[in-house]
Amino acid sequence: MNVFDQAKIDTHCHLLDPAHFPYAPDVTYRPQGQEVGGQDYFEQVMACFNVTHALLVGPNSGYNVDNSCLLHALDTGRGKFKGIAVLPLDVPLETLATLKARGVIGLAFNPAIYGVAHYGGMVPLLRRLAELGMWAQFQIEGDQLAELLPLIDGIADLRLMFDHCGRPVVSRGLAQPGFATLLALGRERRAVVKLSGEAKFAASPFPFNDVEPYIHALVQAFGVQHCIWASDWPYLKAPFRLDFGPMLRRWERMFSPEDRHQLMFESARQLFQFD
C-alpha cells in the first residue's frame, strides 16, 4: 500500500485563521500568505491525503496564549482533532482540567524560541500536567535538551513529547550532546518524539537526505511505538516552498508499509486515544 492510501494521524499542525480569529496584539510574528490555513482548508487537505485525525498545536506565532482558534476546532471538529495549547506558566489546575475535557491533551513549551531560562519556573506547572495525565511538549534545538533535562528529570509520571526530531545540528553528528540526550530518553522509554519539521534543521534542500540518519537513529532508540509522524502544516517560516504530497512521498523510501502504519497512525491512535 502506498503512503497516500494509508490512514494517517497528523500529530503536529497549526491552524492560522486571522480573518476569523485575529492575531494577538503582542505577538512578535504574524504569519501571512501561504503560512495561513484555517480549519476548513485543513480538513480538505486531510481528506485528500487520508489523514483521519490530527493533533493541533497552538502556535506561538500569531496567537501565543490565545487558544481561541484551536478551541473552536476542537469544539466543531466532530472528533477529528485534539489539541496542544500554549498557556502562561501560572495556569491553575482547574483551568487545565477544563481544557482537558474539551480535548486539550497537553501544553507546548518552546525553548527553541525563548531559551531554556525562560522556563526556569515551569516545574510547578509540569507537576500539574503530570497530575492530570497531560503531555508536556517541548520544541528544543541543538544542545538545549541537555540543559533542560534537570528541570524535568525528577517529575514522576510526566508525559514527555519532543517536536521535530529534537532539531539537531546535522553537521555535528549523532553523538552531539542534545541529540544523545534525546536518544537516551528514547531508550529508557521516557518520552515520545515527533518525526517532523525537517525544514527547520536540515542543511540540505528538499528532500532533506541529510536528516535521514537522525530519523532512523530516533526510531531505533525510541521504537516505532514511541515515534509519531507529523506534517508541520502549514510550514511556518519555511525558507522555501513545501507541499504536503511530496513531503509524504519521502516516507515510502524510508520505511516499510507496516512501519509506516505504526509511525503514521497506530502510535498516535494509542498514545493520544483517538477513536
Contact 111, 139 (CB under 8 A): yes
Task: Report domain 8-272's class.
Answer: alpha beta
Q: State whether residue 81 is helix, strand or coil.
A: strand
Q: Which residues sit opposite 106 in a β-bridge?
A: 84, 135
Q: At what angle do helices 212-222 and 244-254 cross, to 10 degrees?
A: 60
Per-residue pLDDT tens, the chain, 275 aa: give them. 899 999 999 999 999 999 999 999 989 899 999 999 999 999 999 999 999 999 999 999 999 999 999 999 999 999 999 999 999 999 999 999 999 999 999 999 999 999 999 999 999 999 999 999 999 999 999 999 999 999 999 898 999 999 999 999 999 999 999 999 999 999 999 999 999 999 999 999 999 999 999 999 999 999 999 999 999 999 999 989 999 999 999 999 999 999 999 999 999 999 999 98
Give backbone dihedrals phi and psi of 108, rounded to 5 degrees, phi first. Answer: -100, 140
Break the chain into its structural domains and give their ranges.
Answer: 8-272
Whether this model's pTM surpasses 0.95: yes
Q: Which of 269, 273, 198 is nearest to 8 (CA)?
A: 269
Spatial separation of the C-alpha atoms in residues 133 and 129, rounded to whole Å: 6
